[in-house]
């Protein structure tokens, strides 16, 4: 479920609104805003096909990374949701619209926002951008956008409510 080791940077963390951002013991900058949460990732060679273009299924991996970092930005951990509360969030629907290719060594931005909370159903929205073109010029280009829908369940796949601390944090983020 976790992030990508030292290769990710998250653009905001709740609980430290003006101070430096720390992730995996490294400082990456200051919190910009609460929503959307932005995670930076450099495209690895292993994520590309023979043409150096990112294989389509990797966008869903990046969506997960954005979702995990969104929770982390709220001071919450996906792993604690499972271990402490017995909740899992299976994906029941996933969609991605591809606009332009990501390529090997691109630095991409994953924007993640909570989009819906209704009962035990959660929906997250994602936009993936390339911040600079191949010449290094600043030019934010939308590469893909999508959403995932999840149902909060116990380990037997019975629906259950999202723990109140998680629900309140996501609702507050959506209200911004």
> How many C-beta atoms surround the C-beta of residue 42 within 10 A?
14
> For residue 80, what are the CA distances in angstroms to 26, 39, 75, 95?
22, 21, 11, 26
Catalytic residue (choose from 32, 49, 84, 93): 49
Closest CA to 148 of 35, 66, 48, 37: 66
Helices assigned H by DSSP within 102-163: none
Is the peptide bond between 45 and the residue preceding it cis, with omega within 30 degrees of 0? no
Q: What sign results for the dihedral spanned by CA atoms 35, 3, 84, 30?
A: negative
List, edge to edge, every strand of the sheet that includes 121-132.
Answer: 8-10, 37-42, 107-118, 121-132, 138-151, 91-98
**Residue 49 a catalytic site member:** yes
Report helix angle 78-85 to 58-73, nearest 10: 70
- Give me the active site residues, please: 49
């Amino acid at each position: 479920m976790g992030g990508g080791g030292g290769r990710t940077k998250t653009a905001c963390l709740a609980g430290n609104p003006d101070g430096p951002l720390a992730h995996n013991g490294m400082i990456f900058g200051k919190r910009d805003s609460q929503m959307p949460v932005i995670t930076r990732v450099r495209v690895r060679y292993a994520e590309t096909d023979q043409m150096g273009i990112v294989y389509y299924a990797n966008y869903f991996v990046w969506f997960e990374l954005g979702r995990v970092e969104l929770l982390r930005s709220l001071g919450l951990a996906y792993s604690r949701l499972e271990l402490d509360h017995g909740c899992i969030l299976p994906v029941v629907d996933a969609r991605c619209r591809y606009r332009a290719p990501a390529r090997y060594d691109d630095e991409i931005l994953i924007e993640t926002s909570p989009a819906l909370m209704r009962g035990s159903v959660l929906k997250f929205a994602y936009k993936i951008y390339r911040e600079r073109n191949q010449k290094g010029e600043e030019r934010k280009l939308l590469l893909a956008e999508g959403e995932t829908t999840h149902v909060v369940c116990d380990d037997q796949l019975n629906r259950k409510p999202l723990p109140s601390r998680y629900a309140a944090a996501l609702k507050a983020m959506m209200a911004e």
